[in-house]
Structure 1
Amino acid sequence: MERHVIQKKYEFLRIIDRLEDENLLIVITSIRDISDDWKTGNINLLSRHSHSKEFQLDNVPKNIQGLTEVAPTQISPIEFLKLTKLYKNDVESFLIYNPK
């Protein structure tokens, strides 16, 4: 009997959207758990933690102003656990987390 090999990855993602018409800056961050079955080609993407925050464009905090988008970036299982804990205790730090 053949076994399917499932590879797990963890990713951090940040999306920043500037809505001039609505005078809003939107920051969305997410930690994703991805399972990839290389035999079947199936990908299972689970967003463990996501958070979004809105700021008025004329009142964006300095620590948020310097943020850039982060494309899905692979992080280690240890970083994943650290971020999960951080998210529960400090959403602001989670939003400004920068992967190495």
Structure 2
Amino acid sequence: MFEILAAAASAEAPPAWFQWAPIVGMIVIFWIFIIRPQMKRQKEHQAKIGGLKKGDQVVTAGGLVGKVVKVDDNYVDIDLAQGVRVKAVKSTIGDIIPPGGAAAND
């Protein structure tokens, strides 16, 4: 009986990297499926907002649709309706409506 216990005690433990492999694997999976695509979308959005110009139809993050009247470094003046103009923070522009889409100021 003592021989079996001695043999079990002398058995080698798995290498340290083997214990960390599942954690490293989860980090890699998160990077591939969550972090990298989000960074790509953020970069595309910043490029789209950087190219914003007067006359573009936009949708704000709050759901307002309007036409860009003036573009500053940080702000955008948007004409929502005739006589209704708002100033929005540039980063809150959700999307730019391509030409030929539904007009905002009918």
Please say whether Structure 1 and Structure 2 have the same fold, judged by a TM-score greater than 0.5. no
* Bigger share in helix: 2
Interval containing the TM-score (normalised by the shorter chain)? under 0.3
Tell which structure's C-alpha radius of gyration is larger. 2
Normalised by the length of structure 1, the TM-score is: 0.27
* Bigger share in strand: 1
More RCO (CA 8 Å, sep 6+): 1
